[in-house]
Amino acid sequence: VTSEAPQPRSRRERPAKSALTGPGIVATAVEIMRGEGLGRVTMRRLAHELDTGPASLYVYFRNTAELHAAVLDELLGEVDLSPAAEPGEWRDRLVRVLTSYIGVLYANPSLARTALVVRPRGRHYLDLVETLLAMLHEGGLATGRAAWALDMLLQFATRALRAVDEHRYPRTAAAREELFSGTPETRLAWNFQVLLNGILATPVPR
C-alpha cells in the first residue's frame, strides 16, 4: 500500500550520510500521510523513514505542529484555482474554488482536522486567499465586506486567517487591516446575522 512509486529515499539505496532538505522531508511526510494517515506522521516515524534520528528534524521544524502545517500547505497546492480565471458568474467560480478546497481537505480527514487547528501561513494557502479575494472584489464587494466574507467563508470549513506575507500578496495585504478590524464580538454578531439572513433568503432545493 505504501510503495507505489520507486522510493527515492529508501533506506537501502541511500548513502549512510543523509542529505536532508526541507522539501524532501515534507515529500516523505506526505507519502506517509497518504499511506497511513496524519496520525502516523510523527517525528520519530518520519526520521526512521529518512534513516536518521528524530533530533535531526528539529533543524527544519520547531515541533510536530509545524511539521503538520507544512504537510497541510503542501496538500493545499492541489486546490484548483483555475475557475478564478475562467468566464462566468463570479459566485459560481467562487463556489468552485471553495469546493475544491474542501475537497482537498476532506480527501484526508486527518488533514482536515489539522486545518481546523493550525493557523495556515504557507505559500499555497496564501495563494488561495489571494484568489478568493480577487473574486469577491470582482463581485463588487468593498474591501471591508470582502475581507470579512473571506474570513467567514474559510472559517466555515476551517479557521480564521492569521498572518500574511504583505509583499507577496498585495490584495491580501490591502485587506489585512479590514480583516482584523472590529472587536471579536462585533465580528461574531455579524457572522450570525449573515447566516440568519442567508438562511431566511435561501429555500431548500426542490
Q: Is 10 in the site for a copy of itself (CB under 8 A)?
A: no
- For residues 180 and 192, which CB has a smaller minimum distance to a copy of itself in the complex? 192
Contacts 24+ apart (CB under 8 A), 149-158: 150/175, 150/179, 151/179, 151/187, 152/191, 152/194, 153/94, 153/98, 154/129, 157/98, 157/101, 157/102, 157/105, 157/115, 158/105, 158/112, 158/115, 158/116, 158/120
Residue 72 backbone zone (phi > 0: left; psi -120 to 50: alpha; other: beta):
alpha
146 Cβ contact partners less than 8 Å away, ≥ 6 residues apart? 133, 136, 137, 175, 178
Q: Does 145 bind a copy of itself (CB under 8 A)?
A: yes
Number of residues that bind a copy of itself (CB under 8 A): 37
Q: Which does 202 bind (CB under 5 to 8 A by kind): DNA, a copy of itself, none?
A: a copy of itself
Using CA of residue 82, residue 170, residue 112, residue 73, what is the dihedral sign? positive
Q: Is 88 in the site for a copy of itself (CB under 8 A)?
A: no
Residue 190 partner contact from a copy of itself, DNA, none using kind-dependent CB cut-offs of 5 to 8 Å: a copy of itself
119 is an interface residue for a copy of itself by CB under 8 A: no
Instruction: Identify which of residues 12 and 17 has a Cβ nearer to DNA in the complex.
Output: 17
Smallest separation (angstroms) from DNA to the CB of 20: 4
CB hemisphere CA count around 185 (13 angstroms): 0
Q: What share of the chain is helix, strand, coil (3-state, %, to 5)?
A: 65, 0, 35
User: Which CB atom, from 69 or from 179, has the smaller least distance to DNA?
Assistant: 69
Question: Which one of DNA, a copy of itself, none is in contact with 132 (Cβ closer than 5 to 8 A by kind)?
Answer: none
Residue 20's binding partner out of a copy of itself, DNA, none, with CB under 5 to 8 Å set by partner kind:
DNA
Q: What is the binding site for DNA (CB under 7 A)?
A: 17-20, 40, 42-45, 51-56, 58-60, 63-65
Interface with a copy of itself by CB under 8 A: which residues?
Answer: 91, 94-95, 98-99, 102, 113, 116-117, 141, 144-145, 148-149, 152-153, 155-156, 182, 186, 188-199, 201-205
